[in-house]
Each structure stands twice: as structure tokens, then as C-alpha cells.
Amino acid sequence: MPGPVKLSCRNLWKVYGPDPARFFVGSSEGPDALAQKMRAGGHMPAAIDAGFDVHVGETFVIMGLSGSGKSTVIRCLSRLIEPDHGQVLLDGEDLLAKSAQELIEIRRHKLGMVFQNFGLLPHLNVIENIAFPLRLQGLTSAQQRDRASHVIDLVGLKGREHSYPSQLSGGQQQRVGIARSLAVEPELWLLDEPFSALDPLIRRQMQDEFLRIQRVLKKSIVFITHDFMEALRIADRMAIMRDGRIVQIGTPEELILNPADDYVAQFTGEVPRIKILRAHQCAVAIANRPEGLPQVGPDDRMEGLLPKLAASPAGLDVVGQGGAYLGTVTATSLVETLGRIEGAGPVPVAHG
């Protein structure tokens, strides 16, 4: 059940090149034709007619190859880059219409952003870096300290308060970046490839950390990555970009099972299907099943249920709301389902 819309991005364009505004006066072509015209004229449309909604408490992931315009879009959302056309509505108010002063206020209280290369200030130590946005707002040093130490606890940096960025590992530096972006208690949290500069192991650990924080704080999030497995772990919904254009929006499962085109399929192709299967999709009705099989929910991921299934060879009962029996997952039914979807192309998405 999605909450109300927090951020809405509509028909957003960013075009590099001289005087891009002229393309938008009285043009009646579709976005693709218009982008073609821009490229022909030597312009670089980095974001083309981007549109999506982010609901309250939702993690929305944007992914795409390098140069596909992900950073451009996320920077347009906070107006680090000035879009050339379109709307960005935060709580229904158009950010693009705000004055410089209003924008500063919004950044100070409603937005937080994490950067790929951390963007820490080299001359400030951990706690000063984290308190920096608070200091800019003119809070007293006691208030700064209180709120900074709260987020330091949250990201697990206790004891490193007085280290300087150069004395920290990449993972620790990004924890500082995360803590700094959370210090102002933002409503919308923007993360641009926050873990791409880290080693695979550390990256995984940081993803767990991120999920834990998100479970506590329930922010509305726009998260950028070029790693589909990362998207799969954290996304509620995601968008895939190609050459400035959003080519598909949906849940990870939808993208895997129903890729809009070959480009999306290339991203999703390598994902082991077991990662997206849910219990109800593998359940079959068994007439005379043994009593007292372990019970699981219909939306539980099969990947996580494998140990349970191993421990109970007779199967697992899938039980819906109110205890209604929906079917049983057995080793045979799982293998059958996998065989059906693996390589068989698009399958209709089952809803629980």
C-alpha cells in the first residue's frame, strides 16, 4: 500500500549546449524526436523527459550505464543542476520556482544528499563534518553536538569523532557522508552511487547498514546505482535509464520478469531467478499433506527459505492473511517453477 507522493518529477529535461531554451518554445514533437533534433544540432540532452513519483517511505532506485544521465537527474531534483524544462514537485510545491533563498532553506531542512566520492571537507574532523550543515544554519554548538552525536551512533562511528577524513577508510568516510546528510533530518534523501567507490565486501556491509537505517528512519529515498544486485536488495521500485531516457519503471521483479526491451533484459538477465521468487509463486496444492509443516508467508523470498526447506523435506505450508492455506512449497515444486521461468522469457507477474 504506497503512501502519499513525496516527490514528483515531471517531463524533466537537461540539455548541455548553448541556449537550450529555444528547443522548448512551441515544439510539438515527441520527446524522442526532440532529443534527436538536439543531438543533430550538437547539443547533449543528458536528461530527456524524465518522469517518476517517489512515495513517502519508499526507496526509489535509478540505474543505468555510465553516462546515461543518472547523476544529472538526481542533481536536477535538488537543483545542483538547473533543469531546462519540466517540474520537480516536493510535497506538491514546484522546486524550480523557488528563489535562491527559499532553495537554501529547503536544502537546509528537507533534503539530504550522499555523494559517490563522499565530498567530505578535508580540514574538518568527523564530528565537525557531520555538524557542518547545522553550523551553517547557525545552531549553537551544544545543539550541533547533540544532533551530530545522535547520527554518529546511528552509522556506527562512535569513537572516531575526532579523526580526519584522511585517516578513515573509504567505508568509514561514506558513513560520515551518510551521517552528515542525515544530521538535518531530511524528508527526502538523495544518494548518488554512495557505495560505488567501495570494495565489494564493504559495499555489501554498507548496504545492510543502509537497510537497517532505512528500517528505523523510513525516509523517502532516491538512490542511484549501476549495480543491479544492489538495486535488487534495496529498491521498492526502480527506473532504468538509457542515454538520458527512462526506459522502464517498476518493481525489481517486474523488470526481471517483464523487461521492456533488450537493454533492460541485459541488466536483469544475469540475476539468478531464485533471488526474486516468492513463496506463493512456487506453492502447489497437495491433497494429503502431512500435518504440522512449518508455515511461511506468501511474500517471503524463496532464497531466504531454502534452509527451512532443507530442514523440512516434506515441504512448507504457505499461509495467507488470517491463516488461509494457499498451498505447499516442496523441493519439486520449487524446481518446477524455476524451470518454467528460467530462460522461458517473460512470465506474467503473480500478485500476492
Partner 1 sequence: MGESAQTRSGKGQVIVWGAVLAAVLALALAQPQFPGLKAYPAEWTLPVTDWLNAGMDSFVGVFKPAFRALSAIMEYPLDWFSGFLGWLPWSVGLVVAVMIGHRAGRWPLAAFTFCALVYILLMGLWPDTMNSLALVAVSVPLAVALGFALGVWGFHSPRVERFLTPLMDITQTVPAFAYLLPILILFGFGPVVGLIAGIIFAFPPMVKNTIVGLREVPSDIIESGLMSGATKGQLFFLVRCRAGLRQILLGVNQTTMAALNMIIVASIIGGSEDIGWRVLSTLRKAEFGESLVAGIVIALMAMVLDRITYGLATRAPDMAPPRGFAQRHRFALMVLGAAVLAYLAARAFPALHTWPQDWTFDPSGPLNTGIETFVLWAKPLLDSVKNFIIFTLVLPLKIGLVNVVGPFTWGFTATIWHALGYAALVVFGAGYAMSRGRTGLAIAVMAFGLILFFGLTNLTWPGASLLLIWFGYRSGGMRLAQWTTAAMVFMLLTGSYEKAVLSVQLCALAVVVSFMIGTALGILAAESDRFSRILRPINDTLQTMPVFVLLIPVIMIFKIGEFSALLAIILYAVVAPIRYSEYGLRHVPKDVIEAATSMGATRSQLLWRVKVPLAMPNIMLGLNQAIMFGISMLVITALVGTDELGQIIYIGLSKGNFGIGFLAGIAMAVIALLADQFCRAWQRRIDAKLEGAS
Binding site for partner 1 (CB under 8 A): 75, 78, 80, 104-105, 107-109, 111-113, 115-123, 125, 132-133, 136-137, 161-164, 177, 180-181, 184, 190
Q: How far is the CB of 306 from partner 1 (least distance, A)?
A: 41
Is residue 177 within 8 Å of 113, Cβ to Cβ? no
225-254 footprint of ligand ATP as x/- string (CB under 6 A): -x----------------------------
Is the separation of the CB atoms in 28 and 36 below 8 Å? Answer: no
Q: State in angstroms the smallest separation of the CB of 117 from partner 1.
A: 4
Cα torsion 334, 304, 250, 322 to 10°: value is: 80
Q: Can you tell me the distance from the alpha carbon of 13 to that of 10, in angstroms, rounded to the nearest whole number?
A: 9
> CA nearest 113: which of 208, 197, 178?
178
* Placement of cell 536483469 in the chain: 268
Binding track over 25-64 against ligand ATP, x by CB under 6 A: -------------------x-x-----------------x
Q: What cell was used for 141?
A: 554548538
**CB 287 to Mg ion: min, Å:** 55
Residue 71 makes contact with Mg ion by CB under 5 A: yes
The nearer residue to Mg ion, 71 or 125, going by C-beta atoms, is: 71
Which CB atom, from 124 or from 217, has the smaller least distance to partner 1?
A: 124
The residues that bridge with 248 in the sheet, in sequence order, are 240
Q: What is the DSSP letter of 216?
A: H
Question: Which range in 38-46, 63-71, 98-106, 153-161 contacts Mg ion by CB under 5 A?
Answer: 63-71
Which of partner 1, ligand ATP, Mg ion, none does residue 163 bind (CB under 5 to 8 Å by kind)? partner 1
Long-range contacts of range 24-30, CB-CB < 8 Å, 24 or more positions apart?
24/84, 24/85
For Mg ion, the binding residues (CB under 5 A) are 71
